[in-house]
Chains A and B, each alone.
Chain A
Amino acid sequence: MQIHPILAALRRHKAGTVLIALQIALTLAIVCNALFIIDQRLAHISEPSGVDEANLFVIKNLWGEQYSTQQAVERIEEDLNTLRQLPAVQDATPVDGYPMGTTNEDNFITMKPDQRAPTTDASFYTGDDHFLRTFGLKLIAGRDFRPDEIENKGLRDSIVPPVAIISKTMADKIYPNGDALGKTFYAMTPTPITIIGIVETLHRMDVSTWSAPYTGESMLTPVRMAMPIGIYYAVRAKPGQRDVAMGEARKALFAENRMRIIDPKDGILSFTEIRRRAFDSDRGMAILMGIICLVLLAITAAGIVGLTSFWVGQRRRQIGVRRALGATHRDILNYFMTENLLISLGGVLIGVLLTFGLNLWLVTRFTLNVLPLTYVLGGIVILLLLGQGAVLAPALRASRVPPIEATRPA
């Protein structure tokens, strides 16, 4: 296959060639960046929570009036008894925040009390000796809290816990040598906190963009919050009985004491729903980008089909001459395929520059991540295949032009 005659012919269709190449270039730039965004969002959505998601649900329980800490402590104890006695319930624990939830508490972590720049940032969970069991967290080192370690605290009481259980991600961050157990750290506290346990995974309470560098860094302190306004109950159902337990829990709590507020719609949420809501915007963005990619690829393919068909129509006579001079079907087919390949190559060449340009802009403007080279390579392959696929039909039609066309006037 000789390239030279193709180039010579293309020179006669400069504008059309440039427009197709430009379209391919722009498509490459947008598709690469969009696919990258999709992938980042999907990775975010599938971050592990570390909890027993299938059987867990959370009740947002408000007292309906302001309680003192002591009143709240008593009410929480009653409610927990009620919940734990339900046949479909495994365990329950009061919390003021849970993974991927709507409330968030996080503290700077330092290794020394007077350290200026924090070592890292961790989600600050409070929980009792039922926390690990209720959430189904996997303790990989050390021990759980003992009941006598748990302190009752009211809203904004100062918490200076002597011990904590931390996630492995956080342990690896502050003690990279893997010897965190038994060591200490500070979480904006005046006194050091000793690490008594490490859990395999515990997601942060938030899923926000700013905390992306600290994903999976969480600490749990032996504190039971007795909030004046209300409290969350995390409840773990027996395997497969979550929906039964959710119904039972609402009924039992209201039967025990009618004076409380549990929103009829959003008061009790399964963890499946909690996860779905947490990543609502990420899922939406991934779907939007996906739709745009599909439309973009379809339009570009259709554009190539359209323009090549026109070129084939325009060159019927020339094709006829070539066929009359002995060119085979295959030669003609190859001609158009190669022509498209050349244009596409030109397009992706400019496209690579545009891709990185767009990515650079997104990085500086919206602090997105830098596009890995694999995406660009993948994008190039997709577009080259798309071009070849799109050109196939018009090229086949061209190859079927009979030699007799040579004798017909244009």
Chain B
Amino acid sequence: MLGYYVDLAIRSLKRSPGLTLLMILAVAFGVAASMTSYSVFRAVSGDPIPWKSSQLYVPQIDIWGPKGRLDQTDNNDPPDAMDYAEAVDLMRAHRAKFQSAMYRVSPSIVPPDPTMHPINVGGHAVYSEFFPMLDVPFKYGSGWSAESDAQRAAVVVISSKLNQKLFGGANSVGKTLDIDGKDYRVVGVLDNWNPKPVFYDVVNTGGFTTEQEDVFLPFQRAIDVAMPNDGNTNCSEMPKGSGFVGLQQSTCVWIAYMAELDDKAAAAAYKDYLDGYFREQKAAGGFDWPLNNRLRNLPEWLASEHVVPSDTKISLVVALGLLVVCLVNTAGLLLAKFLRRSSEISVRRALGAPRMAIYTQFLIEAGTVGLTGGLLGLLLTWVGVWGVSWVLPKEISTLAHIDVSLLVLTLLVAVVTTMLAGLYPTFRASRVQPALQLKSN
């Protein structure tokens, strides 16, 4: 029976090709627009470390108080980064399973090959626990040890891309690298690791960036050689001292921080520790404002930092609006189409077809339109995803891609929504009174 209904549907759709084409185009455009914006949204709102994101926390301590905020719109949120003193205190206290203070650096590298020009790279100064905390994959070697942190050792972990460029992809562990005029020993080469957003330091990277993360070196080593930070520096007042040391003594915030806390109890204990730290500082005469700390896990943190660009969300909403309009449009056209066949329905009903049969027949017809629209929509989605790379900024558009799940979703959305749009018209068709129709003919 199903095959027969499909056959009927195709015949009926062929009878008014204009109207059919219109419905198919409407479904295709609506689905393609929403799927294209969804592909971008999905790319920027995904969890960068799904197996662990709820155990990673970002502490915020209100070291500035209310005067450090230009306006009070952002829920009176404390600074979203740390000053040097605070970061070092938290590292020294070592209250979490793993933790790392970090800051973005942008040093220059003189390649071992003398024919190559010096190059500028991006990276982070981190503590040794950064690597196990974020499950960073290594191709060769590993991160450095806690002793290396303490000794401020001149060691470096490089990206596979940089390894490719400088050492031709060979195992470079143990080799020496000239960074900002000083020699560093390579201890590890990362496997392909390029999380988006750059979740461990969204404050200094903005989350989405086309810049590469090529080197990771020990935090205290970078401080020792005065490797300047390449990212945001926010101050509530001018630093009193000069230079990089002046920055370290100031209350300017420029350091990102992340801690791994395995369960709720650990998180609560850590929050208590942060609050205690604040009270201690307050008692010492530092702060004259009330306690206002935050401890957010990674998903909450990414949300509070507005990492997903609002443009992406607005586009998604508007595209979904377009889909709704297309469906209302399709519903109207299906209604017209179905009711035009009142006499045909009446004949079927008079010959004994139950309402259910009418339902099935017309829903299949709607589904056929949806499927065809969906197939065309697939093509348009492909064009759309390809097109966003021309329209949207690179750091975002390069993340959008088509995969099997998007293809399946596109077809599913097309068929299901079109059948939903067909529900009312089908209902009306099933209510056609056979007697009335047969008589009037």
**Residues of A with Cβ closer than 8 Å to B?**
15-16, 19-20, 22-23, 26-27, 29-30, 33-34, 37, 62-66, 108, 116, 118, 121, 154-160, 188-190, 209, 228-229, 259-261, 263, 280-281, 283-285, 287-289, 292, 295-296, 299-300, 302-303, 306-307, 309-311, 313-314, 358, 362, 365-366, 368, 409-410
Contacts and interface: CB of A to CB of B under 8 A. Distances in A.
B133 interface: no
Contacts of A26: 321, 324-325, 328
A29 B335 CA distance: 24
Tier of interface size on chain B: 35 or more
Given A63-B108, A156-B243, A366-B314, A299 B329 contact: yes
B318 A62 contact: no
Contacts of A280: 392-394
Interface string B257-287: 0000000000000000000000000000000
B329 A292 contact: no
Contacts of A154: 242-243
A303 B313 contact: no
A281 B440 contact: no
A30 B318 contact: yes
B206 to A, nearest CB: 10
Contacts of B106: 229
Contact of A299 (B29, B340, B388, B394): B29
Contacts of A281: 309, 311, 392-393, 396
Interface stretch (B80-88, B114-122, B134-142): B114-122
B108 A156 contact: no
10 contacts: A65-B118, A155-B243, A158-B239, A158-B241, A260-B118, A281-B396, A284-B393, A292-B322, A302-B329, A303-B329
A287 B397 CA distance: 14
A154 B228 CA distance: 11
Contacts of A16: 332, 335-336
A257 B325 CA distance: 63
Contact of B328 (A22, A63, A368): A22
B119 A261 contact: yes
Given A29-B321, A66-B226, A292-B319, A158 B246 contact: yes
Contact of A158 (B225, B240, B309): B240
Nearest to A358: B321
B244 A155 contact: yes
B175 interface: no
A296 B318 CA distance: 10
Contacts of B318: 30, 33-34, 289, 292
A307 B228 contact: no
B60 to A, nearest CB: 18
Given A66-B181, A156-B243, A295-B29, A288 B315 contact: yes
Given A261-B119, A281-B393, A307-B332, 14 more contacts: A15-B428, A22-B328, A65-B108, A190-B238, A261-B118, A263-B120, A281-B392, A284-B392, A285-B311, A292-B319, A295-B322, A299-B30, A303-B332, A409-B441
Nearest to B110: A64
B19 A310 contact: yes
B50 to A, nearest CB: 26
A306 B19 contact: yes
Interface in B1-58: 18-19, 22, 25-26, 29-30, 33, 37
Interface of B: 18-19, 22, 25-26, 29-30, 33, 37, 67, 70, 106-108, 110, 117-120, 180-181, 225-228, 233, 235, 237-244, 246-247, 309-311, 313-315, 318-319, 321-322, 324-326, 328-329, 331-333, 335-337, 340, 388, 391-394, 396, 424, 428, 440-441
Contacts of A19: 328-329, 331-332, 335
Given A188-B238, A295-B29, A64 B108 contact: yes
A362 B235 CA distance: 31
Nearest to B181: A65
Given A229-B106, A366-B310, A23 B325 contact: yes
Contacts of A34: 318
A188 B237 contact: yes
B75 to A, nearest CB: 13
A34 B243 CA distance: 48
Contacts of B332: 16, 19-20, 23, 303, 306-307
Contacts of A30: 318, 321-322, 325
Nearest to A187: B238
A190 B332 CA distance: 70
A29 B318 CA distance: 10
B110 A228 contact: no
Nearest to A366: B310
A62 B441 CA distance: 88
Given A284-B391, A303-B26, A296 B322 contact: yes
B154 to A, nearest CB: 14
Nearest to A313: B340
B392 A306 contact: no
B18 to A, nearest CB: 7
Contacts of B391: 283-284, 287-288
Contact of B70 (A118, A156, A259): A118
Contacts of B424: 15
A155 B280 CA distance: 33
Contacts of A313: 340
A214 to B, nearest CB: 9
Interface-centre pick from B67, B329, B428 (highest chain A CB count, 10 A): B329
A189 B322 contact: no
Contacts of B247: 156
A33 B242 CA distance: 49
